Structure 1
Amino acid sequence: MEIFLQAAILLLTLAILFAIRYVPKQTGTKHRTDHRGATQTQRHLTRATYLLSRAKSNPHEDQSQTLAKTAMTEIEKALSLSPKDPTPHLLKSLALDLLDHKGSALRSLDLALASPRVKSLSERERVEAMVRRAELKLAVNKRRRVDSAVRDLEEAVRMSDQQGAIITKAFCLLGECYEFKGMKEEARNALQEALKLEPGSSVAHQGLGRLSLS
């Protein structure tokens, strides 16, 4: 009986030593691995953002597309490291749009705005993504996607207390959607809201001009 008791104590002691020496080491290793992966992801995203900025401002289409393709390489590396992060999907959408792959750009935004990724976005990021998604829906197939675009835009306007250009754009796009659907009064109201935010908006003025003639 005493032998069994000593053996049990020995096993308990070994278990305690294992917990003290090994488990914290494993936890620390996982933390370092996660931190290293996050750092690498951020490095790729920073590089991609820089390249996309250059691509958007470059007046030469061939050079712009080369920069966008290089940005895509960085984005894919970030996605391989952090597939649950919405940011690479947002940047991928921008790159694909610059490469004139609007359908694929729209799918990337759908992924960024899908649960649970969307929970990681700030309100501003989510609003901007919804407005961009609505714009792409109208560009890809206005007739088939206009109702879906309206839902994105109405939600963006409803959830945001911003007064910046993105909300002005949302109201202008809403005006375009309502006009397309024959909802002239709603279109007029949306465009007037855009002018309250940006009195010099040429898009809003042009839209109201069209409505006054129809």
Structure 2
Amino acid sequence: MFLAMHDIPKKIFTKIRYRNRADFQAKRHFVLGAQLLAQARSSKSRSSTASLAQKAEFEAEKAISLDPKDAASYILKASLLTFRLQDLRSRLPRCCSLPSCFQRGSRVDSAIDDLTKAVELGGDNAKVFCLLGDCYEMKKMKAEARAAFEEALKVEPTSSVARAAIDRLGS
């Protein structure tokens, strides 16, 4: 009766009631991390790219800790890891190889773990399978990479990325 008399809109109470729920906070951190990743990809300087990617990874970790059953957060984290690895590879001269920590594939293994977790949680997104295929390809696991790209084609038959990757991998 008090609310009706003072004409307080329900939207305000909805915001107050749902403000502390973990899933809403996880979505907020996920969106912030995705925005930071987009900024890192479009950044021109190395230092800002690195700091934006680091902030995005922190937001992805926070989203995972708040809602560990959301596949999108794992996809974001894996995208960040593959972005960092691709960025590192693009900056190396052709005669150089990756540092030993990347040759062992610790970051790629972490990305593969996150992507397989996203697939287990219901990631029926072609992009997830393409990222997983890229990670397998970086680790020289051609059979697994091909299988991941074929799954991407099952989900999205018009995916040019998956089709090109299968053609690149051969038979």
TM-score band w.r.t. shorter chain: 0.5 to 0.7
Counterpart residue type for residue 57 of structure 2 = L
The aligned residue for residue 85 of structure 2 is 141
Task: Give the % identical residues.
Answer: 33
Check conservation: 2:34, 2:76, Cα contact below 8 A.
no
- RMSD after superposition: 2.7
* Partner Cα distance (1:184, 1:154) in 2: 17
* Deviations 1:72-104 (CA, angstroms, capped at 9, x unpaired): xxxxxxxxx749522221122122223321221
Counterpart residue type for residue 27 of structure 2 = T
Pick closer, same or farther for the CA change 1:150–1:41 going to 2, 3 Å. Answer: farther
Return the offset for 1:111: 0.7
Return the offset for 1:149: 0.7
| SS of match in other structure, 1:207 | helix
Gap runs ≥5 in structure 1:
1-34, 43-80
The aligned residue for residue 156 of structure 1 is 118
Length-normalised TM-score, structure 1: 0.53
The aligned residue for residue 132 of structure 2 is 174
Indicate yes or no: 2:26 matched with 1:86. yes
* Partner Cα distance (2:157, 2:136) in 1: 20
Return structure 1 stretches of 4+ with deviation > 2 angstroms: 35-38, 81-85, 141-144
Which structure's CA Rg is the greater one? 1
* Partner Cα distance (2:35, 2:20) in 1: 18
Length-normalised TM-score, structure 2: 0.66
Return the offset for 1:201: 0.6
Return the offset for 1:141: 3.0
Question: How many residues end up aligned between the 2 structures?
Answer: 130
Higher relative contact order (CA 8 A, sep 6+): 2
Indicate yes or no: 2:88 matched with 1:112. no
Gap runs ≥5 in structure 2:
1-10, 41-51, 87-101
| SS of match in other structure, 1:99 | helix
